[in-house]
Amino acid sequence: MSSSSSGIDAQDRHDDMPFVDSSKVLVVCKSPINRVVICKIVERCGLRPISESPETAAPALQALSPGTVVLDGGADNRDCDPLLAEISSVRRLMGGTTPAVVMLSTRNRSLQAPIRHNVVDAVVTKPITPEGLQPVIERLAKRAR
């Protein structure tokens, strides 16, 4: 029998009560290499990464209820755009700002779309480094608890 960090056993919760596993971080990125790098940084935070491509991330978001999501926007910052609406829906269901969202962004692009401002909690500029990403993940994961 496993329990979440919130002390609620998944089997004991009511079906209508939202549940978030704050120990899980959904890592969404087209590049398999970047997914591995980001997952290693998530593990350094003491959290469990779940690695998905943008095409497979929506079902994982629904099924796993992660406390934090890391989105790699790719070269044009748009690789994960379809997932933003899904995250927004989950947040409405949860009644707040969970899951917390980190967007990995290129320097020469900005986050223009209005939905991004309502969903993205932090932006980390590439290149991806533990020094740049780890403190942000730790801060947002702590908030998700």
Residue 123's contacts (CB-CB under 8 Å, 6 or more residues apart) are 102, 103, 104, 105, 111
Overall average pLDDT of the 30-51 stretch: 97
Question: Which regions of 1-145 does DSSP assign to beta strands (E)?
Answer: 21-28, 48-52, 66-72, 100-105, 122-125
Choose between 83 and 144: higher pLDDT: 83
pTM of the model: 0.83
Q: How deeply is 96 buried, as exposed, middle or buried, from its count of CB atoms within 10 A (0-12, 13-18, 19+)?
A: exposed
pLDDT greater than 60 at residue 32 = yes
State the Cα–Cα distance between residues 112 and 98, nearest whole angstrom. 22
pLDDT band at 117 (very low <50, low <70, confident <90, very high): low
Residue 40 confidence (pLDDT): 98
